[in-house]
Chain A
Amino acid sequence: MDWKQLWDITTAPDNVPIVILGILTPFYLWYGFREAVRNDRLITQLEADPALAKTHHRRHQPYHPAWDKTVHVWPYLLRIEFLAALIVTAALIVWAVYFDAPLEEPSNPTLTMNPAKAPWYFLGLQEMLVYFDPWIAGVMLPNVIVVGLMAIPYMDTSPLGNGYYTWKQRKFALSGFMFGYLVLWLALAFVGTFIRGPGWMWFWPGETWDAHRVVHEVNVHLHEIVGLTDPVQIGIFGGVVTLGFMAVAGGVTDTLLRKYKPELFRKMNLVQYLHLVGFLVCMSALPVKMFLKLALGIKYVWVTPWFNV
């Protein structure tokens, strides 16, 4: 184990945010779920009692039936935010004092660094470049992410969970979010930071990053396995496979949604519903492609002269 290198990577000023994220994310996950479980218990209790279910009282801990359902923003919320601002300010000052800007030498176009890494918050995107061509990974998918985030309020109109932690009432939304954020974003950023070394090769943590490491990796396109050579056939084949997958995945998603979240299907209009399904399919497509690439060594499924998927 190359502990020194692991330490160097972990303590590099560039990587401080991701390390902090690595600590804070599990903490808040734990905290959020702890609170959610307690609140859920309370909600079950309240809902079980018809008298209480109808009255307006808060649905979260600490709880007392006589307490106000809501409290004023000023000062009860703002003072907490002020406290948080103070703590963060102090932490940022100390951080700024002890970690200088990680400046490097003037860039030299004839000599690129190896590995050349994006800032930590873009490492997820950079990691996606391994699985898709730059147009897809660098332009299309980021746009899908932005548009998808923008579309959430239009698809998810439920007021439940506002102002309190709950799992029970928001299972679907939370799962969707956690999949997108933890798996598709954070996990990829972690891979980009700790796993990807020189040549964007896969190094397990503790493995020495050797720029001269030689690996034997066979990457083939899906159509090569099938044995197609004609570009038109390849394009059509890839299109059929990709779009077919989308269609099948969409169908499965639709079936599952109807079965497990019938109220969702009922409340949504067609546009909302189709978008929801579309985004879910897109999200699920990424891990599928990652699996194809990392486990089966399939580079692209759909190869055309204009883009590769």
Chain B
Amino acid sequence: MAGARGIAGARKADMSQNDQQNDDDRIPPDPIYAKSLSGPILLAGLAVLGASVLAIVDEFHFRRPYYGVQREWKDVTTAFLESRKAVRATQVDQVLKSLDEYRALDAAVQEADQAAAPQRADVQRQVGNLDAQLKSLLEAIKSPRSEIAAISYKAEMATAHAGQTDPRACAEAREYLEHIERIRADAKTYGWAETDEAGRPIAREETRPVGELIDTMPQLQEQKAALQKQLGVIAAATSKATAARQQWLDAHLGDLALILGEADDAARIKIGKRVAELGFAAYLDRELTKLDPGQIDGLISEVDDFSIGDFKQIHIPQTRNWVDRCETCHLNTRMPLTITAADVGGNALYASHPRAAELFEHHDPQKMGCSMCHNGNGMAVTDVDAAHGLNHHWLQRMFPSANYEAGCVQCHVGDAFLEGGERVSQAKENFRQYGCWGCHKMKGYDEEPDQARAVAKRIDDIDAEIRDLQLRAKNATAVGSTVFDAADAASGADSDALNATANATVERTSSVAKAATQQVATLRAERDVLASRLHDLYREQKKVGPNLKDLAAKVRPEWLTQWVDNPRHWRPETKMPVFRWAGAEETKDVAAFLWQSSTAVTGVERDYGLEGVSRVDPTAGGQMFMTVGCLSCHAIGRGERRVGNTFAANLTNLRDKANPRTGLAFYTRWIENPRHRLAPYCTECRRDLTPADFVAAGKKLVFGPEQSTCPNCGHELQWNNPTVMPSFRLTRQQAADIAAFLLERGSDMAFEPAPWLTETERFARGKRLVQHHGCAGCHEIGGLEDEQRIGTELSAWGSKPIERLDFGHYTHDAHAGHDPLEDWVSEKDVAAGNPRKIFEETSGDYGHKWYNHRGFAAHKLAEPDLYDAAKNLDRTARLRMPKFNLGGQEILDLASLLIGTAEPDALPDSIKYHPDDRGQALRDGWWLIRKYNCEGCHQIRPGQVPAIRSLPDLFPEKTPDQKYPPSLVGTGFRTRPDWLAEFLADPSLGGGTAEPQSVRAHLPVRMPTFMFTQGEIRTLVRFFDALSDQPDVYQPPQLAPLTDEEQALAKSVWDNGPCLQCHVVTGMAATTETKAPNLDYAARRLRPEWMRPWISYPAGMQPDTGMTSLFKAECTRCSQRFDNDTIHQFEVATGKLDTCPNPACGADWHVHPPRRVFENANAPQLAQYHGDVVDLLVRYLDRLRAYQKR
């Protein structure tokens, strides 16, 4: 600029000269030259500077919000850790000081320390003196020593270069050496301060030649080393005592943790049980922080060392180079101690991951990152929305807190139940129970029909192939015989040649025929296997609603139409959804079609007889209904008087619904055996078969798997009603009684007569409507057996682009955050007295916008026709999804399930869950457990309470454990797989209706027959094995046979012992005293390795069991006897399992197994027995089987 002005100035000067010459000084200056731009340029320069500063500030402040977060994190976390440390230290100190043992050890340490103190002080003083002297000496000789070293070098080099013999060099070297000697001879004075024995300071001084001083140095150092060694000797006693104290601390750390956790006795016993369940190490990991103040200090210094502005990121190179920087802000996620939001000022940002130990065990963040589960943008750190993936263009939005379990579904879509994913497991159960899968295909649900189709197709192919092969064999044989005949007919010379040809041909053709026949045999074998599988598959496939082919016999005609119109009108709690029929005529059409399609099943009328039942007894039926187990799935009564479960229908007021003429017979038949389909259905002939079909083929229509092929076409038949309802092995009389009980009561609801049901012109219209609404997804309907699902597949719905979801006219509202359902409350929640505005509650999750998958799904589930609003649509173009009676939480959970579904390649394969054999067994098993509602009666996993236990009449409060249907926790370890398979196939073990219960005949509730297929039984047996960590194949241990003497002894225990007070064996009737399983089956049923600990110490294996231990444990080392309570208390108090409670002995019972003894006055001869009585009993029980067999 200066230049510019300079030139301009020069120019001006130039011009002014011209001007003077031209004598024209009135010419104004040219503004182009005269105007300076320095001002604007300065301003613009400043603007650029300002913009640059802005860029830097933006970069380091606004784009790095985590700076502030990290600063705050340091403060709150350090404060929290400090507080925790203080608490911890005080607690430990207090507890330790209260323990005698510790006090003694600590006193020993102090004592030893004090004893050694005077001597130690003296030696330490001497060491101090030496140190001072050494230091001063070193200072004094430093310079001469270095000079000597330098001259020595010169001396060495003098001869090294010229050679050892060179006289001049030698002379030079000598000179150097003499110089060194001179230095060494110089006297040097140095001084230092010493302390005498009385602790008085003495100033010392010494003057000696340098050479001597240098040589003194190592001597002094040796002296010092000797003194230090002496110090060690003096401290030996103290170290020993300290080590003993430390050892004790290490050994009792667990006890300390226990004591720290809970102070009172009851709580400690509770902890003891938990320890027994989990094992000690796991308990400590999970329940308590094992961090001592030192470790907490370590954490504090880690926090302190963290440099503000650092990224904390997880990089997984082998998994698509995944990078997650979530921990740049969420710094406490993996803290080794639990930090709740409340601990850190209510800010969840600084909390540690909930249930971290449990979840991280299988989902190590270092290997899987964060956003694999949570979604969001793991790399972004510039602002919260970006990091959480809430940018409109980021496809993986973070799952909001209301739906965080959606993350589980991404990998676990194939699992019916997830430990730790309880809400999404419930959603999966609801998906099943509400029959969502009737219309929507979803991985894991209802896969049997597809499999059945595939198997049936393969069978058809095989049949065709067999026909081909048979034809080929036949043709080959025909060719052979033709040639042979020709040879026969010929004569003369031709004959020989022809014969030879004929032989060769026959040989060839017969080998072709033989090969074909062999192939046919192979194919037939395959076909048999497939046919049996198909047979099973037809049994395994279920529908969520009842079979409507029986409708006309089952329901009252007047009842039907109003039910179709709105099922919740008559049965408010029904899971059947409400369809949006366009007017009463449509309802009538549908009802008429259903009615007429069901009466089309011929032969039905006649089969609904009540043979063998003369009169019914509703009271007895009611008794049976309430106790036999119906209520583990069904409920009865409304409001306060309601009892039972929600798995199946509420059976209140059934009289309203039942057909007055045939209803009783129908329900009797249904209760007796619900799987009994009156008319088997042939998938090939596509119709229900009548007795006439069988008669024509010379067979009789008998229900059962024996006649499982079609008499017309030979295909496998569908013999089963597609229901999960089992048979309780009731006699027809009992079934009729229950039916009578159920049909006894009705409501005062009025139903108008329904003449339209038989109007044939409604049939076609009704059929179209039923097809259009996909009724056949949940019900079996005559003529609609082959209907396909009408809904969209949901297995990867979460990966669907949002643009493919039709929000209808709400697209813009969803974008803008206007929610028509803001005040929406589920009717179910209102009825339950818990109205929740779920959409208002969760509206903040995505910044009040609901143009996202969660928004779409939840709104659709709440109001299925929402997206039709304001649309002028044709009847058939309207949305068909009916309205389900869902609660707010159910909607949110189902939404989690849906948004969690993903395309298989959405996540890298390497992090996905690939179950091993055990995992697969568990996965398969859970589908069945849920399908058949096993959890209605049984406890499958610890902590789960079966629904049936909530029946107050059957199980009053404090019902002993043995009165409930048995808990199946540990079943895989308890029962033998072969027996379990046998039992599952027929729980009466051949008893039938006459003797319907086998093992637990004393229970009023009985295990029903589920008519499992072999495949299902295999899956269940493997499931229980896997659940108890047992291998697939069970090898029973070889038990030593009993000697005669042992046999007698065992029998005396058996006869005199109280076993049979609770248990029964064959020939004994179950009485009210009977509390325990029939021991006849023990040998076949139970594993000896389970029986042994169980008989010894039942409460240890199942804390609430009614079985008491009759035996005492005798320590084989100290011969002392303990009862089980003593052992148990000892275990609880110390956390030590299997150690002799005798403090003087303390034997490890793993090394010295104790023997169990029986102290009973009635069996004195046992006193002489030196073996283990429990072992004897186990062997005796195992022999019982042998006797039985004989």
Residues of A within 8 A of B (CB): 4, 62, 64, 66-68, 71-72, 75-76, 79-80, 82-83, 86-87, 89-91, 93-94, 96-97, 103-106, 108, 111, 114, 208, 210-212
Contacts and interface: CB of A to CB of B under 8 A. Distances in A.
Majority DSSP secondary structure for residues of B touching A: helix
A94 B44 contact: no
Given A64-B28, A75-B3, A89 B51 contact: yes
A211 B809 CA distance: 10
Interface stretch (B31-39, B448-456, B581-589, B931-939): B31-39
A111 B55 contact: no
A79 B27 contact: no
B37 A79 contact: yes
27 contacts: A62-B31, A64-B27, A66-B27, A67-B27, A67-B30, A75-B7, A75-B8, A79-B4, A79-B37, A79-B41, A82-B41, A83-B40, A86-B41, A87-B44, A87-B47, A90-B48, A91-B51, A94-B54, A97-B51, A97-B54, A97-B58, A105-B395, A106-B395, A108-B801, A210-B812, A211-B811, A212-B811
Contact of A96 (B24, B41, B55, B801): B55
A83 B394 CA distance: 41
A115 B914 CA distance: 42
Contact of A90 (B44, B394, B804): B44
Given A83-B41, A86-B47, A106-B395, 11 more contacts: A71-B32, A71-B33, A72-B7, A82-B41, A83-B37, A89-B48, A90-B50, A97-B55, A104-B393, A105-B393, A111-B801
Contacts of B812: 208, 210
Interface string B6-41: 011000000000000000100110111100010011
Contacts of A72: 7
A210 B48 CA distance: 43
A155 B450 CA distance: 76
A101 to B, nearest CB: 11
B45 interface: yes
Given A86-B47, A87-B44, A103-B393, A93 B52 contact: yes
Nearest to B44: A86
Interface of B: 1, 3-4, 7-8, 24, 27-28, 30-33, 37, 40-41, 44-45, 47-48, 50-52, 54-55, 58, 393-395, 801, 803-804, 809, 811-812, 816
B322 to A, nearest CB: 16
Nearest to A211: B811
Contacts of B804: 111
A64 B393 CA distance: 61
Nearest to A8: B815
Nearest to B26: A66
A164 to B, nearest CB: 12
A93 B48 contact: yes
A68 B32 CA distance: 10
Among all A-B residue pairs, the 3 with the closest Cβ atoms: A86-B44, A93-B51, A75-B4
Nearest to A71: B32
Contacts of A66: 24, 27
A94 B809 CA distance: 39
A210 B870 CA distance: 15
Contacts of A75: 3-4, 7-8
A71 B31 CA distance: 11
B716 to A, nearest CB: 41
Contacts of B50: 90
Contacts of B55: 93, 96-97
Contacts of B41: 79, 82-83, 86
A90 B32 contact: no
Contacts of A114: 803
A68 B30 contact: yes
B52 A76 contact: no
B902 to A, nearest CB: 15
Nearest to B812: A208
A90 B51 contact: yes
Contacts of A83: 37, 40-41, 44
A238 to B, nearest CB: 39
A80 B1 CA distance: 11
Given A64-B28, A93-B48, A103-B393, A76 B33 contact: yes
Contacts of B393: 103-105
Nearest to A68: B30
B5 to A, nearest CB: 9
A105 B394 contact: yes
A76 B32 contact: yes
A76 B7 CA distance: 10
B798 to A, nearest CB: 15
Contacts of B4: 75, 79
Nearest to B41: A83
A233 to B, nearest CB: 42
A281 to B, nearest CB: 43
Contacts of A104: 393
A26 to B, nearest CB: 24
B526 to A, nearest CB: 41
Contacts of B27: 64, 66-67
A71 B35 CA distance: 13
Contacts of A97: 51, 54-55, 58
A87 B49 CA distance: 11
A86 B55 CA distance: 16
Contacts of B58: 97
B26 to A, nearest CB: 9
Q: Which of B40, B44, B801, B803 has the most chain A CB atoms closer than 10 A to its own CB? A: B44
A44 B1118 CA distance: 132
A11 B877 CA distance: 39
A64 to B, nearest CB: 7
B345 to A, nearest CB: 33
Contacts of A210: 812
Contacts of A71: 30, 32-33
Given A75-B7, A86-B45, A105-B393, A64 B51 contact: no
Contacts of B31: 62
Nearest to B386: A100
A65 to B, nearest CB: 9
A90 B8 contact: no
A68 B27 CA distance: 12
A24 to B, nearest CB: 18
A237 B449 CA distance: 63
A111 B40 CA distance: 51
B48 A86 contact: yes
Nearest to A65: B27
Nearest to B27: A66
Contacts of B3: 75
B137 to A, nearest CB: 68
Q: Which of A75, A104, A111, A210 has the most chain B CB atoms closer than 10 A to its own CB? A: A75
Q: Which of A79, A94, A108 has the most chain B CB atoms closer than 10 A to its own CB? A: A79
A67 B32 CA distance: 10
B1188 to A, nearest CB: 68
B28 A94 contact: no
Contact of B37 (A67, A80, A89, A211): A80
A102 to B, nearest CB: 9
Contacts of A211: 811
Nearest to B6: A75
Nearest to A80: B37
Contacts of B1: 79
B907 to A, nearest CB: 16
B509 to A, nearest CB: 57
Contacts of A105: 393-395
A262 B470 CA distance: 100
